[in-house]
């Protein structure tokens, strides 16, 4: 008996949720390729360890960019690899798959995602909007006639939506999220200190001392290492949380502006519900220190961070599949 699978096909990570079992896989969306033979050498965590550290004939590729497929064949091999990893556990024939996508993608991008999932071994493939699925995974009851607002900040996109009666009433998706923040950190450190750091180091800085809200009491610092842009020699220096807040400010404000735009087109009754119930933050970006305070200050609405922001989309996909399974019986 095939168990249905919910997939969060993220720009940074792929999560697989098996109905009845929960999340069974969470790996980086990276594939290492031998450029001479085009052979896939490693997928997921193993490939991520190679990022920025490979010889010239090996490339570590992220086949998804801004929440959509930028390399179809590699996405398909990656998905097939992850799904076949599950079948080793001996319970797979052809599962139904629910996969999630940002709200503003084109019809061609939607087809590419469905096709990749079908080719990787899905019987029936359902595509759902990411913020809707994230809201369900975060425990919001979106099926009642009242307004729920969710901001899902992933690796490639931030999706914002107001939901009621099980569907999206108003939404916005901006291709500004975790990856963009890493780029901000790399750019800031290069401009200010002439120090070149890699993407993984920037990600590590963001996780360790990243902050979205200016806080005079936050004196956290971190030692970082990289290459001096002038001399080309290795160099290390200490950076503070306040500097990272400054580096990330403009990017985070773009997400705030997108959220304001969604609130402006939300029907008044649903807007009143959101004032009562608050906005739910999900996705990796929700883990950034002080992000809830910043949104609450700018949007004048209570803001709640979901319990396990990284798992919400995969979990929501699984819950919706279970829901479909019971409603068909």
Q: What is the dihedral of CA 133, 134, 136, 138, to 10 degrees?
A: 170
Q: Which helix (H) or strand (E) holds 171?
A: strand 167-174
Q: Judge whether 205 is annotated as a binding position.
A: yes
Asked if residue 222 lies in contact with residue 202, where contact means CB atoms within 8 angstroms, the answer is: no
Side-by-side strand order, sheet with 221-228: 195-196, 221-228, 234-240
Q: Judge whether 247 is annotated as a binding position.
A: no
Distance CA 177, CA 281 (A): 13
- Nearest one of 151, 114, 109, 189 to 301, comparing CA atoms: 151
Q: Which own/partner contact pairs does 36-45 have at CB distance under 8 Å and 24+ positions apart?
A: 40/74, 40/77, 40/81, 43/77, 43/78, 43/81, 43/82, 44/14, 44/78, 44/81, 44/82
Structural tokens at position 315: 């979990």
Calculate the CA 170 to chain-centre distance: 20
CA distances from 271 to 81, 116, 164, 169, 241 (A): 43, 38, 11, 11, 34
Q: Judge whether 285 is annotated as a binding position.
A: yes
Distance spanning both ends of the chain, measured CA to CA: 16
Q: Judge whether 204 is annotated as a binding position.
A: yes
Distance CA 269, CA 284 (A): 30
Q: Judge whether 282 is annotated as a binding position.
A: no
Q: Judge whether 284 is annotated as a binding position.
A: yes
Q: Judge whether 287 is annotated as a binding position.
A: yes
- Nearest one of 198, 205, 244 to 223, comparing CA atoms: 205
Q: Judge whether 206 is annotated as a binding position.
A: yes
- Residues of each annotated binding site for ATP: 11-13, 155-157, 203-206, 284-287
- Residues of each annotated binding site: 11-13, 155-157, 203-206, 284-287
């Amino acid at each position: 008996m095939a168990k249905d699978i919910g997939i969060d096909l993220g720009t940074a990570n792929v999560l697989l949720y098996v109905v009845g079992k929960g999340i069974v896989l969470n790996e980086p969306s990276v594939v290492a390729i031998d450029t001479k033979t085009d052979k896939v050498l490693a997928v997921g965590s193993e490939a991520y360890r190679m990022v920025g550290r490979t010889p010239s004939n090996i490339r570590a590729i992220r086949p998804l960019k801004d929440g959509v497929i930028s390399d179809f064949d590699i996405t398909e091999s990656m998905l097939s690899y992850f799904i076949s990893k599950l079948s080793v556990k001996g319970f797979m024939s052809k599962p139904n798959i629910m996969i999630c996508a940002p709200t503003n993608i084109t019809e061609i991008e939607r087809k590419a995602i469905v096709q990749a999932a079908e080719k990787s071994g899905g019987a029936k493939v359902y595509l759902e909007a990411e913020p809707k699925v994230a809201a369900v995974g975060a425990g919001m009851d979106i099926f009642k006639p009242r307004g729920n607002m969710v901001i899902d900040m992933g690796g490639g996109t931030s999706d914002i939506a107001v939901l009621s009666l099980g569907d999206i009433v108003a939404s916005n998706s901006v291709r500004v999220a975790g990856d963009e923040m890493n780029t901000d950190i790399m750019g800031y450190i290069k401009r200010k200190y002439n120090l070149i750091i890699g993407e993984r180091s920037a990600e590590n800085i963001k996780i360790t001392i990243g902050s979205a809200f200016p806080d005079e009491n936050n004196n956290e610092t971190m030692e970082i290492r990289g290459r001096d842009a002038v001399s080309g020699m290795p160099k290390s220096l200490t950076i503070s949380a306040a500097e990272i807040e400054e580096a990330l400010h403009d990017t985070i404000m773009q997400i705030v502006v997108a959220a304001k735009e969604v609130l402006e087109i939300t029907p008044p009754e649903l807007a009143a519900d959101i004032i009562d119930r608050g906005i739910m933050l999900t996705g990796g970006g929700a883990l950034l220190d002080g992000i809830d305070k910043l949104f609450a200050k700018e949007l004048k609405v209570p803001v709640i961070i979901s319990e396990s922001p990284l798992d919400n989309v995969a979990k929501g996909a699984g819950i919706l599949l279970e829901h479909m399974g019971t409603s068909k019986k």
